[in-house]
Amino acid sequence: MFIGRLKQTAVAAVVGIGAVGGTATMATATTVDTVLSLVIDVSGSVDSAEYNTQVQGYVNAFNDSAVQDAIIDKSDGRVGAIAVNVVQFASSAVEAIGFTILDADTDASNFASALSSMARSGSVGGLTDIADGITAGVNSITGWLATAGNSATRRVIDVSGDGSDNSGASPFTAGANFCGSGGVINGVAILTDDDALDTYYENNVVCGGGFVLAASGFDTFGDAIKTKLRAEISGEDPTDPAYIPLPAAGWLLIGGIGGLVALRRKKAA
């Protein structure tokens, strides 16, 4: 079930919401390598400081040169573009930023600016309805691909949060058809109150051969997001040393030392 348990020593965080700012190109009919929906927890367990840390993590990730290089990479037949949106969820889910085409470094930087100015969803507080967040992500991707001329090589939903679903709905059921038709759902579990949340995400959220990154807290979230985005955008294996800059000796100790970030990959059914 597990490919590895990777350890890292740094991280910040990311997440935002509201109208898109800057000059990033809003998605119209186009072909991209990856259509990506960022599905972010804004429930009551995420206080304002933690929310801001999450947002800043995503901002830093889209400003990161390695992430930007992955977005515009045209090697091996790639288009060098992605379409990305943001969904926030608590007791319900809402699309905070509509799909935006990123096909240049400046587009990624402008999207980072849009993230930094996002307002937090009015649904803050109440339940943690991961299933509704996934459903909103699925519906947004389905709707974007239904637009004449839109196509993507990969369809990815990226769920991040600090708690399990307590709405009574099943996140796995919500994503089953999406993953069954070739989509992938990955997760970042923020281990603030539940040290086993990464296992919960692996068993109940991730599907389609996706992976779970576990951050020890909101302060370790940002580097995890950079790693995850690069893997999602490129379609590569995030256990590759190129994605996790551990010293060579570190790989020999992966299974037995404490660390801030862990990775688990779930095999496709």
10 within some domain: no
The CA R_g of the chain, rounded to the nearest whole Å, is 17
**What is the domain count for the chain?**
1
**Tell me, what DSSP letter sits at residue 207?**
B
How far is residue 65's CA from residue 79's CA, in Å, rounded to a whole number?
18
17 within some domain: no
Convert the pLDDT of each residue in 127-155 to its tens digit.
Answer: 999 999 999 999 999 999 999 899 999 99
Could you tell me the maximum CA-CA distance found in the chain, to the nearest angstrom? 50
How far is residue 21's CA from residue 8's CA, in Å, rounded to a whole number?
33
- Residue 68: what pLDDT? 96
16 within some domain: no
**What residues form DSSP beta bridges with 190?**
215
- What pTM value is reported for the model? 0.81
**What residues form DSSP beta bridges with 95?**
87
Residue type (1 letter), 5: R
18 within some domain: no
Q: What's the mean pLDDT in 66-84?
A: 95
4 within some domain: no
- Residue 191: what pLDDT? 83
How far is residue 73's CA from residue 90's CA, in Å, rounded to a whole number?
35
- Residue 192: what pLDDT? 76
Range of the domain at 138: 25-265
242 within some domain: yes
Q: What's the mean pLDDT in 203-231?
A: 85
How far is residue 151's CA from residue 83's CA, in Å, rounded to a whole number?
10
CATH number of residue 174's parent domain: 3.40.50.410
72 within some domain: yes
Convert the pLDDT of each residue in 164-205 to its tens digit.
Answer: 999 989 999 999 999 999 999 999 888 877 678 999 999 999
141 within some domain: yes
Evaluate whether 191 touches 198 at the Cβ level (below 8 Å): yes
Evaluate whether 110 touches 8 at the Cβ level (below 8 Å): no
